[in-house]
Structure formats: C-alpha cells, structure tokens
Amino acid sequence: MKLQHTQTLAIDLSNRHVLIDSTALIHASESDEFLNLLTDIVSGGCMLYTIPSVVYEYTRTADTPEKFKKRLEFIKELRITVLNRIEESVEAHSIFLVAYNRAYNKKEKGPSYTDSLLCAMAYKFKHMSILILSANHRDMPPSIFDRTELITIDIGGNLFTEALYEFSEDKFANILGQIERA
C-alpha cells in the first residue's frame, strides 16, 4: 500500500474547505494514489484553495515553459481556487500574526512566509472551519492548530506525511491570554 489515511476521508471532507500547501501539490504530482485521493475529495464536494506564493513554490522548479504551463494546468485540473490579494486581508488580522509568531521558540528559525500566510488565512476563515493540508508540520504550531488527519505517502520508497490542520479557538484564546499577561 502506497497511501495510508482514514478510509472515510473523502466523505469526511465533503462540503469542507481546504487550503493546499505546495508540499501537497508536489506529492500529488509524484503519487498517483495521493492524486486520486485529492480528486476523490474534490468530487465529494470539498473546495480546494491556495495562495499565490504556493503557486510560485510549486512552479519555481519548472525549467522549461512547457513544464511551467503543465504545473499551472495541474492546479486547474484539481479545481483549486487561487486566493489573490491576501496580504491586504492578513494585515487586518495582526493579533493572529502576533500570536502565531509567539508560538515559536525564539531560538528557532521562524515560520516560512507561505505557511504564515496559509495559517493567517485559516484564522481569517475560521468561521468556515477551513483546513490546511501541508507536510510543513513545524510551521503549524500545535499551540494554535489541531492536527485532524495524517496521510502517509510512499513515493519511490520514501515516506512523506501530509497532515490536515484546523485552527483551534480554544488554543488561540490561551495564546491571547499569554500575550495580555506579558
């Protein structure tokens, strides 16, 4: 078996919204089984979204115009909506960004730009219970997000783990309390 996940995942995600990170796009382009799972999820009524920096990360290794176009088509074939102008909307949620940055140990390198934006979008659309699909586990702090699913993918004998993350109001309130006490 080259893919392990909850067998009811496509059903569980029907009528849900998922933000896709570049890791998921890369793994889907390398694993037919994972691509089929994403296709089943979309067919079941799940809406997939991403942001321009994810599109850039996914296409940046294309070394010919044909490969670049093929990667853009891959995103379209998965019916992923690219949310534009997100930096403007993120600025309105500065309290989230302060809490998100606080979730990291100051000795560690901070989160990536792209993953920071994905997390801010999950906060912005928390009323929709939007999920993030990513293999960048370090950038999804457990003090703010719940990990709701693990998907293990075998690509050429190497194991990769994508996970679904959901913003937690309770955990976020705890971080806010720490900020107010500081």
CATH number, domain 3-181: 3.40.50.1010
d(CA 97, CA 119): 9
Q: What is the pLDDT of residues 16-56, one digit of tens each?
A: 999 999 999 999 999 999 999 999 999 999 999 999 999 99
Whether 26 contacts 56, CB under 8 Å: no
Whether 71 contacts 59, CB under 8 Å: yes
Q: What is the pLDDT of residues 85-132, one digit of tens each?
A: 777 766 667 888 888 888 875 666 778 889 999 999 999 999 998 999
